[in-house]
Structure 1
């Protein structure tokens, strides 16, 4: 499944299985859904609170927190440490003399040095591109045949171990005809990104496809600079499988799903290269992207000014091939993903915007 890894870094990770995993006519039936229940280690490490879902919305994926909200004060010491790291820093700054306070407010540079700091004050963007209720829908086509839809949403804020987090949702679903004739996919990922530090705390993934069903949970513990990954999977070929991983990560690393949103924070000026860290599958990588050009993209919504970005991945200082991929971002403060084009071994995969709801400004 070489295609899966390459597509992952083209911000179309969830598409890969659609086209490269073979043919089937229906979704895999899971006789006992309990075998895919989230790992208890994850539930012990992470307390997630989300707003009550409005009628008709999809919130089941991240409803993995213990049911009793009042248990939150009794969370493990790890949770309390997580709160201490960011909150007292602000309080301490307020208690220091004015001169010291000025130095604290105006650091020499935004961390980490790898990342561009234009448009930021510390870790926070001067203009927040993530508006609650924002919904971007793409039509995904293969060999110019519509195969499915990609939806990227910003849902109401969540709390992860007591900290405010962006609730970023990605959902890929094949159309009925494609599911019956070729391959069926109904995959959903939620990335919970810390509001203040813009680092991923959690991602959860539910995979429902023709040849597999899968539940994935990941927790980035930046107190220990450690990534934790749990996966439970059922396939036609191998039955029930389970995978656990833990590895050391670098500060401010994104995961592959938060990266699609995180890249929208940068200015993407002409000819300038942008970079940030990504941790995935036991590896520490660097995402790099460069603006190739600015152009007007003709879409179903009409012409939209766009920035065309060419991404690449660096592993241990060396370029890691990910295929021929281009990403179109809206040329404004929001940097919506308008189009993704990826040439794979057989044909070209194209995902392009067909619907946009801007959401409510913060």
Structure 2
């Protein structure tokens, strides 16, 4: 249980934790049917995902913010402005149809839109209905962390916001998280994992995620689908390990309304207002295969200046804990730092383990842009 929550809060730290405990394995696990693992027909039949990915552009160099602002700017070389196409003639206006008069009930129904934020445990501050007053996400955003252990670079964690996707016809955020080990650690254990999580734009609840795991000890493909009409979660997994060979798993379980999954949770933290001494909570469906549901709760413990390779930031330090079976428990010695601004970038994650401390800290930020 503890391991799955670490994954939700710090994908980098949990993944790199395995590097310390395993033996020597200098290359990725090979499997001659790896392409077949990516085909999970039951998921593919139920989910249609349409993405609008732009062509790859030259990377921009972010300019670190001054210590007193906490903001991040990017400097990019402007591209030439393309010539405008000739204006098309304006078609004649279509004849107006007589509008049907609405009855009093219809009018009232159209006007009365709830602005209350649900569920109540998440509070009301900073929301209008399910939407945040200040949306922290921008298409093209990319936050890159260096993950270190005993001051040695263990790998890179990348958290990015892709252009909006359509999931079964609904506009959705497209969050992507990737972890890759550094070459020096590849001698011991190689990791090249990534997950895409789709979150509905209007309701901010996740619909699906796709997980791809490529490591020295295992290959794994997992798919997850929330069926909010039935309040159920569906999980499919195909896995190959050196020890056990190919395995498959399918799981279905009930989930409370407005639950995040363990991969959308790290992004959902950013929609809340964080004030020192106050707590924010939300539900999480433990989609690591156990079928358990829990409540994440984070407490902002202090504001501080944070100096990183990406610059100096005003930051808020948060201590997370989880509630399982009505008992709140700390998630080990883990702390998360968010930028103290409207974007709430994840700047640093720190986790104490049995020997030493794993640290994931920002080295570059591309703020993205409005779509």
TM-score where L is the length of structure 1: 0.84
Residue in 1 aligned with 2:127? 120
Whole-angstrom CA distance in 1 between matches of 2:249 and 2:103: 45
Whole-angstrom CA distance in 2 between matches of 1:184 and 1:277: 32
Q: 1:212 to 1:284 in 2, by over 3 A?
A: same
Q: Aligned match of 1:213 in 205, 214, 219?
A: 219
Q: 1:164 to 1:243 in 2, by over 3 A?
A: same
Shift of 1:10: 3.2
Shift of 1:290: 0.3
Residue in 1 aligned with 2:99? none
Shift of 1:51: 1.5
Task: Judge conservation of contact 2:16–2:155 (CA < 8 Å) in 1.
Answer: no
Whole-angstrom CA distance in 1 between matches of 2:368 and 2:177: 16
Whole-angstrom CA distance in 2 between matches of 1:53 and 1:173: 23
Whole-angstrom CA distance in 2 between matches of 1:95 and 1:177: 71
Shift of 1:101: 4.7
Q: 1:115 to 1:177 in 2, by over 3 A?
A: same
Shift of 1:96: 4.8
Shift of 1:95: 8.6
Residue 190 (structure 2) pairs with residue 162 (structure 1): no
Residue in 1 aligned with 2:200? 194
- SS of structure 2 residue aligned to 1:114: helix
Shift of 1:135: 0.3
Residue in 1 aligned with 2:356? 347
Report the aligned-residue RMSD: 2.1
Residue in 1 aligned with 2:325? 316
Whole-angstrom CA distance in 2 between matches of 1:8 and 1:209: 16
> What does the per-residue CA deviation read over 1:249-305, in whole Å, with 9 as the maximum and x for residues that have no partner?
000000010000000000111111100000013011000000000000011122100
Task: Judge conservation of contact 1:10–1:322 (CA < 8 Å) in 2.
Answer: no
Whole-angstrom CA distance in 2 between matches of 1:212 and 1:19: 16
Residue in 1 aligned with 2:62? none
Matches within 5 A, 1:59-208: 96=105, 101-102=110-111, 104-107=112-115, 109-180=116-187, 182-208=188-214
Whole-angstrom CA distance in 2 between matches of 1:271 and 1:115: 16
| Residues 3-12 or 129-138, more deviating | 3-12
Matches within 5 A, 1:211-290: 211-280=217-286, 281-290=290-299
Whole-angstrom CA distance in 2 between matches of 1:28 and 1:271: 46
Aligned length: 323
Shift of 1:35: 3.8
- SS of structure 2 residue aligned to 1:178: helix
TM-score where L is the length of structure 2: 0.82
Shift of 1:97: 5.3
> What does the per-residue CA deviation read over 1:89-130, in whole Å, with 9 as the maximum and x for residues that have no partner?
xxxx9995555555x3344x3110110221111101111101
Whole-angstrom CA distance in 2 between matches of 1:361 and 1:35: 37
- SS of structure 2 residue aligned to 1:167: strand
Shift of 1:322: 2.3
- SS of structure 1 residue aligned to 2:301: strand
**Residue ranges of structure 1 left out of the alignment (5+ in a row):** 58-92
Q: Which has the larger radius of gyration?
A: 2
